[in-house]
Amino acid sequence: MNNQQEKNFIAEKVLDKIKSGEVKMKSRAYFVLRAVLLILGILVLTFFLIYFISFIIFSLRASGALFLPKFGFSGMKILFNALPWLLILIAATLIISLEIFAKRFTFVYRRPIIYSLLVIIIIVAAGSFLIDKTGFHPNLFRKAQERRLPAIGIIYRDFGAPRIGNAHHGVIFEVIKSGFKIETPCGEELTIIISSKTHFPLKADIKKGDVVVVLGKRSDGAVQAIDIRKVNKGRFFRR
Amino acid sequence: MEQKKSQQSDEDIAALVQAGDVDFFGVLIHRYKEKMIRYARKFLSDNEDISDIIQEIFIKAYTNIQSFDINRKFSSWLYRIAHNELVNALKKRKKNTLPLFDLDTFLPYSIKDDSFSQDIDSQDTQKMINKCLDQLEPKYREPIILYYLEDLSYKEIAEVMRIPISTVGIRIKRAKEKMKFIFKKLGYRL
């Protein structure tokens, strides 16, 4: 078959298939529905990502990990080990998925990935920051503690305020001779023992209702404090 | 009637096909079959494979024509379908194909300073392309084909390959550098 014959053969074969009904045109409604589903998918993914990242921030704050940089290098080391790497990895995967979805739009793929990635990160970070400012997660956390949150309650109980190594976060509910007693966000009570070796810059100011992060080894219900810092009160405590 | 058909733009004809006038799709096939065959030949060598792929390209174009926006260029849209078909064909044949992710799509590039390209553009670019094309990776080969042989603009190539416009520029620039090197290695003088 020469070149011209080959070209005509291709055209004829395609047109035959179309005219015989073997090949059918997809309707406009199909493409509209697909576009609507894509936009909906992007919106759902964005909201889920905002929820997810704000949950990670909440979890870091509730566990006290977010306050660890106040302890300097040793605090940073504990923070690095305490970071919820699995959740961070899931969040990164979700961001990449969102980028892949967004790349179906002309205004996204025409520009370098760094731009769309930055826009996604800014939107998600701003949304997470706003949610963090509300009592959304602390309320759900409290409900989960009181067993009034079905389905996702287990997530808040297991990952809401995880224990991190030798760092302990809680509100002071009683000042005693050897130190003070705190209640953690999970409702656990711990006795903090202060000794001459304890580094505690604002010792004189200590009072009931203060929120602290304590570094020290825990044994049963007591912690031999090495370092103590007062931090801002969150919305995690019942007292 | 025939004269009227030949005067109409691709986009007008596509609009008629969308409206249900199937016969007009034949006009689009006749306008593009040669270009599609030429394009596919730059990636595949087997004539039978090429014939099957060209049929598949036009069948896909017909089934999906309602998704075509008549305010945009039909040629870019059709080349996009062809690009996808060729990528799939290369994957099936386990040939060197386009990477899923490439660093050059990540960062912005300035494509203004291109004195090297002027140097090459003044030479016999077509001759050089035909001598070196097979030795280029597909990610460099495709923008060169689309730009020099199919006369598509950077913006249209970006549509076809779904990559940033600046990446098209940088890939063409790098492809020309590579071709210049290959050309010299083959013993030709620029």
pLDDT at position A40, please?
Answer: 97
**Chain B interface includes A88 (CB < 8 A):** no
Position B108 in a domain: yes
Residues A147 and A88 in one domain: yes
pLDDT tens for B138-147 read: 889 899 999 9
How confident is the model over A203-218, as pLDDT tens digits?
667 888 899 999 999 9
Q: Which long-range contacts (CB under 8 A, 24 or more apart) does A87-96 make?
A: A87/A52, A87/A55, A87/A56, A87/A59, A87/A159, A88/A56, A90/A52, A91/A49, A91/A52, A91/A53, A91/A56, A94/A45, A94/A48, A94/A49, A94/A52, A95/A49, A95/A120, A95/A121, A95/A124
Q: Is the same domain home to A59 and A128?
A: yes
Average pLDDT over residues B2-12: 78
- Residues A59 and A91 sit within 8 Å (Cβ to Cβ): no
pLDDT at B94 over 90: no
ipTM: 0.80
Q: Does A28 touch chain B (CB under 8 A)?
A: yes
Cβ within 8 Å of residue A21, ≥6 positions away: none
Domain count of the fold of chain B: 2
Show which of A158, A186, A209 is a domain's final residue: A158
Residues B127 and B81 in one domain: no
Give the domain-ending residue among A140, A158, A176.
A158
At A224 the pLDDT is: 94
CB atoms near residue A18 (< 10 Å) = 22
| Rounded CA separation A27/B145 (Å) | 33
Question: Which amino acid is present at A217?
Answer: K
Asked if A65 contacts A82 with a C-beta cutoff of 8 angstroms, the reply is: yes
CATH of the domain at B177: 1.10.10.10
Residue A113: list chain B partners with CB under 8 A: 105-106, 164
**How many domains does chain A fold into?**
2
Residue A199's domain comprises: 166-231
Q: Are residues A86 and A171 in the same domain?
A: no
**B131 within some domain:** yes
Is residue B119 pLDDT above 70, yes or no?
no
Residue at token pair 């977010």: A66
Whether residue B78 sits in one domain with residue B19: yes
* Cβ distance of B107 and A111 shorter than 8 Å: no
Q: Which residues of A93-106 are buried (b: 16+ CB within 10 A; e: fewer)?
A: ebbeebbebbeeee
Same domain, A132 and A195: no
Residue A180 belongs to domain with CATH number: 2.40.50.320
Under an 8 A CB cutoff, do B59 and A17 touch?
yes
Sign of the alpha-carbon torsion through A127, A132, A138, A144: positive
More confident residue, B148 or A5: B148
- B18 neighbors B65 (Cβ within 8 angstroms): yes
Q: Give the model confidence (pLDDT) of A61-118 as tens digits.
A: 888 888 899 888 988 988 898 888 988 999 999 999 999 999 999 899 999 999 999 9
pLDDT tens per residue, range A155-183 = 888 777 788 888 999 999 999 988 999 99
What is chain A's mean pLDDT, rounded? Answer: 89
Residue B39: give the domain boundaries. Answer: 2-92
How much is the average pLDDT of B120-127?
60
Is residue B97, in this structure, part of any structural domain at all? Answer: no
Does A19 reside within a domain? no
Q: What are phi and psi of A199, to 5 degrees?
A: -90, 115
CATH number for the domain that contains residue B16: 1.10.1740.10
Same domain, yes or no: A142 and A95:
yes
Residues B160 and B83 grouped into a single domain: no
* Residue B190 falls inside a structural domain: no
Whether the pLDDT of residue A3 is over 50: the answer is: yes
pLDDT of B115 above 50: no
Q: In the predicted model, what is the mean pLDDT of chain B?
A: 84
Residue B113 maps to a domain? yes
Q: Is residue A173 domain-resident?
A: yes
Q: Say if the Cβ atoms of B106 and A114 lie within 8 Å.
A: yes
pLDDT for the residue numbered B116:
46
DSSP secondary structure string, A70-82? GGTHHHHHHHHHH
Once rounded to an integer, what is the mean pLDDT over residues B160-171? 93
